[in-house]
Amino acid sequence: MVRGELTGDSQVRASGCCIDSRGVKAGEIFFALVGERTDGHDYIEGAWQKGASVVIGEKERLEHRREVRVPEGKALIRVESGLAAMQTLAQAWRKELGAKVVAITGSNGKTTTKDMVAAVLSEKYRVHKNMENQNNELGLPMTILNAPENTEVLILEMGMRGLGQIAFLCAIARPDIGVITNIGTTHMELLGSQQAIAQAKWELIEALPETGSAVLNGEDEWSVKLAGQDSHQTFFYGLEGRFHEPDLRGMNLTPFGILGTRFQVGHRQVGHGDRCAVPFAEVAAEVGQKTCPHVSLPLPGEHNVLDALAALSVGILLDVSLEEGCRGLAAMELSRMRLELHQGPEGSTLISDVYNANPTSMKASLQVLKERGGASTLAILGEMYELGEASREGHYEVGQTVAELGISELITVGPLAEEIACGALEKGLSPQRIHSFPDREGAIKKAQELLADLNQGTWVLIKASRGMKMEEVTRALHKG
């Protein structure tokens, strides 16, 4: 398959793959890839010592090293490109598995939705999903190759940084169901326009087979617009149905617990051909409360409810009942660094949401902060990346939201985030309540001072793009 040259035992068996020699498990394939800072070929012997049964390395790199001795009962395969070999093998393993593939993309909520889809489908199927956000040309094939042979559903998050990238991932994964959470302004810096971003995201739906299904957000204008030009079966979810009447609707949202949301969900149980023609209110009245179970979601905010509705929609398409799906959501586990709760100084509560950020997710998290913290709140907000020409406007709008919500105190981190401060000031937040710093150290010191003066039980939101490393702020304030 990989058109390589084999040295060693041709009968050796392998299961799973790894690119970090420190984490190799017995029987795995170790791909010796060349990174920006390290070269996997330097760690081949260590990988074999850890238990790797097969090493795949690149001919050119191996030629410039001393002779590699292949241990007894193991094999070395020399190829032109280690990454291309991994992608080729992932294509083959996906086909051999015969599992259903659910692919998820969007400007916000991809990883959370992926975790929710896994929670819903695990009630009925053996599922395998990507770890954290392994969603690119390296992480996606690794996820597939590490799927156990009894996997029934593969759940794959797909990221993109340009046109053609999701199409490339789809050529490897061949999805049966495509989920687009929303189409926002993330990657404006790379793609230049919202239309280009929409086109890049829509590559997922275009890659579906004729029998495939698109799960789309009825509150997202671009998704609805593009769906009108597409022939695939579509299943819409939503809260208000701003742009399309939802097939699955969330209703009666109420906070519960420390950081949870309880809501009802209604499903329009009508045929595909009639689904878009029947008003939801009439169907809900007809089917009654039996089809409107309660969901106890361990996450706050409307944005997370929308992600939960996407997951329940996938469940419906794969014959998981709403009752089963709701049970799965109640017990779900999230990937790290997303809405983590920590105890802070002076009895404060820290909401650490530091994995990534854009204007939409910033505003959503601020809503959660206000909902939970009430009259005593502190927002520590850093820079948002990849917004291109929309960067200034995006940061400014976030600042306006801070003021509109009545957040008690605002700390901004980094030069770009000063626009957040400008937006808050322009919208009426007192300058005495706005504090801007070029780095994390100044922000940490100021936060500690403010929390000593604010009310006991203050809620604190810490959020920025991943490159800001705002988990350092969380770590400094966390009183564990």
Binding residues for ATP: 106-112
Question: How many angstroms separate the CA atoms of 171 and 151, rounded?
Answer: 20
DSSP state of 279: -
Residue pair 260/254 in contact by the 8 Å Cβ criterion: no
Give dist(CA 442, CA 356) in Å, integer.
Answer: 21
As annotated, the binding site includes 106-112
Q: Estimate to the nearest angstrom the gap between the alpha carbon of 381 and the chain centroid.
A: 20
CA dist 243 and 223 (Å) reads 9
- Give exposure, 348-385, as e/b (b: 16+ Cβ within 10 Å): bbbbbbbbbbbbbbbbbbbbbbbbbbeebbbbbbbbbb
The H or E element containing residue 295 is: strand 294-297
- CA gap 99, 417 in Å, rounded: 44
Please state, in angstroms and as integers, the Cα–Cα distance from residue 206 to each residue in 171, 226, 256, 276, 455, following that order: 11, 11, 39, 21, 53
Nearest to 358 by CA among 208, 183, 221: 183
